[in-house]
């Protein structure tokens, strides 16, 4: 209740607590109105205030002023959004929107939040940790987006659009220098190609040390190391036909840190939990020491490496008719990943001085997508988007020397979709959307008793092919009414997350397949423009009904658990993915922009969640009373401001963001975990303050230069833990840096 009162006051102050007297300001309403924001949430350009979708849109200026450098930073400016590093996969994120989360590395599992880059949907959470430098816009769509964006978007979509070639000679250079020997150099070059085309070349090189000192190895490890390059070509092939091709190369060779938080105890099933802590590894001690040092120290015996290298090809063709546009968007993403982890944050011990669980996973993944759209641009009373989509993926994994297996997953899916808006009259608009999807997946796995057996490829403990087929119809209906101050809408939508296989399964039954999970959402929204458009105030209320939720269920592996008449002998434990959960999530989201004067602008984003398990079935028993929805803080809030001041020969911009969130739980098995004796999986609530001061000025040659001094999370030093996971035998979490300062130098001409 304290947090609710605080955030409501926070909202009122940020939106209404400033002088609204226009005459006192002696400024015209038109000159200080909030600039209209155009989004493509419904695959066509529309004002954000006219769209019956919960969407947060960030301009290039907002991203630069707020020092939003990575996809993970978007959580500071959008309500009910959690995005953190996923260190066990290369360049990956763990994302949660409205409490619907995905936090894994397996390509046999599907995400809940889709990432779309230049119109191409990423089928994996790997390789999407993008630099937000070369941008046109970023949109965060909240709630199921299945009718237009397809499967695996039950939480929402992060829609990223990069800038196109300008078709003029120009360059943009930016150098960021931060603590921990961090340097980030970015370059964009533009040039015309003939009379009807242009080329853009972008390059980036980032390197840094870790903010944590490794006491066990007496060294400060390297941290992020990334190189990337892209080439984009844009041509008008005729008066009606435009072609845009982009090639991307990236190599993320980063090292990561992990903190072991294992505690040994006898779990709720009467089995030993956290046996890792009995092997003389000092797991609990290392966590205590790291915590005492504000997580500026780490005690891992061996480095933790997770890297990715890949290329992307994106082709967009647009053909303009008199009142329609035909679009073809094709993409090929091809990458290789390597994870090498040994001591899992432990300093080593008597039994196993170096490694207790050495895991090396070599993966490759390729996806091919094609989408055709017919987008209308009619005067009314109706407009529509019709489309066809197909995707093919193939992923291979080679694992050892502890978990020794080879696996392969191939998927194919196609869909037809449509979205129709009908202006019933001047006040009422009806929206109808539908999508039909068919998909199939073929999975094969060979498991081995030892690493040598895997090298020899014989004998196998488990050698089986499995297949999965499904079809699904999604729909959305909305009704909206225009008002003198904006509009209100009510919508009902559905979405699904694909089923699949458990690549970590050790028996035929634990491999799967498991079924798709589904969500049904009702949403009520208000979009308003007040005070002569100086104040934008939007509020959305929603309820999610989440069924057949895919859950990790860990059972005894001694044969006492029988599945389909077969005793499950997996060793210590068996891990299943089952459609065991049903969840209800209700929430409210408030977003506002207030332009107090021509120089001063405020923005706020506040989210509330009330999430609970209705059912979590374990072997016929509902253990929902011990289950907490992970990655779902009850409250998130942010207040941003930007003040511009004319100074000699240029402009000075002071910007800041204060953000706060409640605590939330990481992942665990509610059938086994006991609060108290178990590992501490609670991520503490936090408040952050980011500040920046930017000086802009025009140069003599018609270009511009800027210098930005910034500090992120300046209230607290050290680090903190995110994405804790209790894996049964051990538990671990990912450390993140808090306070850091830097300077950014940029030139554009």
Give the residue extent of every domain in the chain. 2-377+384-459+476-748
- All residues at 6 or more sequence positions from 119 whose CB lies less than 8 Å from its CB, including other chains: 314, 316, 329, 331, 371
Counted residue by residue, the chain has a size of 749
d(CA 167, CA 60): 20
d(CA 597, CA 22): 9
* Residues of the chain predicted below pLDDT 50: 1-27, 350
d(CA 98, CA 154): 10
d(CA 542, CA 524): 6
Instruction: Of 478, 588, 593, give the one whose Cα is nearest residue 529.
Output: 593
Bridge-based pairing of strands 600-618 and 265-266 is unpaired
- All residues at 6 or more sequence positions from 636 whose CB lies less than 8 Å from its CB, including other chains: 75, 79, 80, 81, 82, 605, 606, 607, 659, 660, 661, 662
The DSSP H or E segment spanning 413 is: strand 405-423
- All residues at 6 or more sequence positions from 508 whose CB lies less than 8 Å from its CB, including other chains: 462, 464, 566
The confidence score (pLDDT) of residue 30 equals: 56
The confidence score (pLDDT) of residue 279 equals: 57
- All residues at 6 or more sequence positions from 687 whose CB lies less than 8 Å from its CB, including other chains: 658, 659, 660, 715
Determine the 3-state secondary structure of 484 from DSSP: coil
Query: Candidates 3.40.630.30, 3.40.50.10540, 2.40.170.20, 3.40.50.720; correct CATH number of 2-377+384-459+476-748?
Result: 2.40.170.20
In the chain the first and final C-alpha atoms are separated, in Å, by 52
pLDDT for 632-664, tens place per residue? Answer: 999 999 999 999 999 988 999 999 999 999 999
DSSP tag of 40:
-
pLDDT for 266-317, tens place per residue? Answer: 777 777 777 666 655 555 567 888 888 999 998 888 888 899 999 999 999 9
For the entire predicted model, the pTM comes to 0.92
201 C-beta neighbours (distance < 10 Å), count: 15
d(CA 176, CA 7): 34
Determine the 3-state secondary structure of 648 from DSSP: coil
d(CA 665, CA 212): 24
DSSP tag of 619:
T
CB 46 within 8 A of CB 39: yes
The DSSP H or E segment spanning 202 is: strand 197-214
- All residues at 6 or more sequence positions from 17 whose CB lies less than 8 Å from its CB, including other chains: none
């Amino acid at each position: 209740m304290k947090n609710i009162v605080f955030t409501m006051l926070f909202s009122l102050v940020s939106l209404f607590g400033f002088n609204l007297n226009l005459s006192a300001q002696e400024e015209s309403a038109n000159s200080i109105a909030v600039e209209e924001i155009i989004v493509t949430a419904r695959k066509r350009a529309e004002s954000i205030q006219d769209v019956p979708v919960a969407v947060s849109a960030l301009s290039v200026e907002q991203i630069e002023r707020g020092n939003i450098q990575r996809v993970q930073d978007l959580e500071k400016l959008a309500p009910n959004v959690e995005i953190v590093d996923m260190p066990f996969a290369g360049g990956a994120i763990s994302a949660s929107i409205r409490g619907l989360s995905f936090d894994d590395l397996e390509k046999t599992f599907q995400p809940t939040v889709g990432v779309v880059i230049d119109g191409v949907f990423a089928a994996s959470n790997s390789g999407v940790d993008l630099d937000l430098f070369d941008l046109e816009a970023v949109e965060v769509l909240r709630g199921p987006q299945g009718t237009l964006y397809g499967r695996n978007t039950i939480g929402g979509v992060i829609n990223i659009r990069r800038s196109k070639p300008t078709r003029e000679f120009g360059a943009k250079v930016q150098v960021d220098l931060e603590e921990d020997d961090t340097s980030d150099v970015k370059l964009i070059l533009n040039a015309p190609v003939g009379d009807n085309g242009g080329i853009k070349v972008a390059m980036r090189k980032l390197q840094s040390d870790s903010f944590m000192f490794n006491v066990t190895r007496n060294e400060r490890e390297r941290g992020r190391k990334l190189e990337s390059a892209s080439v984009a070509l844009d041509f008008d092939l005729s008066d009606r036909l435009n072609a845009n091709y982009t090639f991307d190369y990236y190599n993320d060779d980063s090292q990561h840190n992990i903190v072991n938080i294992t505690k040994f105890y006898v779990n709720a099933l009467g089995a030993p939990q956290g046996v890792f802590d009995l092997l003389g590894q000092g797991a609990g001690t290392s966590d205590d020491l790291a915590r005492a040092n504000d997580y500026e120290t780490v005690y891992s015996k061996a480095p933790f490496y997770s890297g990715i290298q890949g290329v992307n090809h994106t082709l967009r063709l647009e053909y303009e008719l008199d009142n329609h546009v035909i679009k073809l968007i094709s993409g090929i993403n091809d990458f290789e990943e390597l994870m090498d982890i040994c001591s899992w944050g432990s300093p080593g011990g008597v039994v196993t001085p170096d490694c207790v669980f050495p895991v090396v996973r070599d993966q490759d993944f390729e996806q091919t997508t094609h989408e055709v759209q017919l987008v209308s641009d009619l005067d009314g009373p109706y407009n529509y988007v019709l489309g066809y989509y197909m995707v093919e993926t193939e992923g291979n994994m080679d694992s050892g020397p502890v978990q020794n297996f080879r696996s392969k997953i191939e998927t194919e899916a196609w869909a037809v979709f449509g979205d129709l808006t009908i202006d019933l009259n001047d006040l009422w608009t009806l929206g109808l959307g539908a999508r039909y999807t068919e998909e199939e997946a073929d999975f094969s796995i060979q498991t081995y008793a030892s690493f040598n057996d895997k090298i020899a490829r014989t004998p196998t403990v488990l050698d089986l092919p499995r297949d999965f087929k499904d079809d699904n119809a999604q729909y959305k209906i909305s009704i909206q009414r225009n008002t003198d101050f904006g509009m209100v809408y009510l919508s009902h939508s559905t979405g699904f997350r694909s089923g699949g296989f458990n690549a970590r399964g050790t028996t035929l039954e634990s491999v799967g397949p498991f079924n798709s999970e589904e969500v049904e959402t009702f949403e009520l929204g208000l979009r308003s423009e007040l005070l002569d458009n100086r104040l934008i105030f939007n509020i959305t209320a929603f309820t999610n009904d989440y069924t057949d939720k895919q859950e990790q269920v860990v059972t005894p592996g001694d044969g006492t658990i029988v599945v389909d008449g077969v005793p499950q002998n997996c060793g210590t434990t068996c891990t299943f993915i089952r459609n065991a959960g049903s969840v209800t999530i209700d929430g409210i989201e408030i977003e506002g922009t207030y332009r107090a004067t021509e120089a001063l602008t405020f923005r706020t984003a506040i989210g509330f969640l009330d999430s609970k398990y209705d059912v979590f079935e374990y072997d016929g028993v509902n253990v929902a009373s011990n289950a907490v929805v992970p990655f779902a803080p009850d409250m998130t809030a942010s207040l941003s401001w930007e003040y511009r001041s004319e100074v000699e020969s240029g402009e000075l911009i002071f910007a800041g963001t204060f953000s706060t969130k409640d605590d939330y739980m990481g992942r665990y098995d509610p059938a086994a975990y006991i609060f108290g004796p178990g590992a501490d999986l609670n991520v503490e609530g936090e408040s952050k303050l980011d500040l920046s001061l930017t000086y802009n000025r025009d140069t003599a040659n018609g270009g511009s230069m800027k210098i930005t001094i910034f500090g992120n999370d300046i209230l607290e030093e050290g680090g903190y833990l995110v994405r804790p996971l209790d894996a049964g035998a051990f538990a671990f979490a990912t450390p993140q840096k808090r306070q850091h300062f830097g300077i950014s130098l940029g030139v554009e001409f």
